Amino acid sequence: MGPLGDLDIDKIRLFIADHEKTLRMIAVIAVIFLSVLFFWTRGSGETVEIDAPSQEQDSEQTSEQVSDDGSSPDGTISDQKAEIAYVDICGEVKLPGVYKVDTETRVFQVIELAGGLTDSADYTGLNRAEKVFDGQKIVVPKIGDASISVQQGGISQDDGKVNINTADSSQLQTIPGIGPSKASRIIDYRETVGRFNSIEEIMNVSGIGEATFQSIKDYITV
């Protein structure tokens, strides 16, 4: 290397010697700056990755919203409402009339809507725990008045047949061949499944088959 190269190196060495502290400080500052820049950039990237919702999370949130408003995944909404029933109650109640209720309503609740029983009411023939049905007529007789037919109680005035939708246990047992056990099963059936739409449906009750039906069909009605 020639004299010019030696001279340049000497100058550099002298510059470094004279400014050694300054150069060290600049180097430290540069290292700190680069470290801060590195960690800030890395930390920012992690934050973005955490905040970004996944498709699985979106799916779960959508399912929860659908479940909350009662709709199914295809957008339809299930109908969980009970059916409407119009019930006519008359006789020994304070406010006789036709009442709009749902099919989960019990007879005693209709009586309450009608203002309750009068002091002269004979409710012994009423099944007050029975669920109502659309078009039902509840007649509450007066004490000692045998002329009033208690249709709700299960006995038809016209033909003397037992209404299997409204008769209580004792009235069901007036049917030939129906004892306490079968009467209880008939009541359990209509309270869990619903009213009988035809007399033939009584064969759906456990213990009542074709032979029993043939022997009782002339004594029952709906």
Give the whole-angstrom CA distance, residue 102 versus residue 104. Answer: 5
Tell me what the mean pLDDT of segment 98-108 comes to: 92
pTM, entire model: 0.40
- Residue 138 pLDDT exceeds 80: yes
The 10s digit of each residue's pLDDT in 28-65 is: 888 888 877 777 766 544 444 444 444 444 444 433 33
**Choice among 13-17, 54-58, 86-90 with the minimum mean pLDDT:** 54-58
At 89, the pLDDT band (50, 70, 90 cuts) reads very high
Side by side, the strands of the sheet bearing 84-91 are: 97-102, 84-91, 137-140
pLDDT above 70 covers what percent of the chain? 70
Helices 20-51/3-18 angle, 10° precision: 70
Amino acid at 93: V
**Choice among 23-32, 70-79, 119-128 with the minimum mean pLDDT:** 70-79
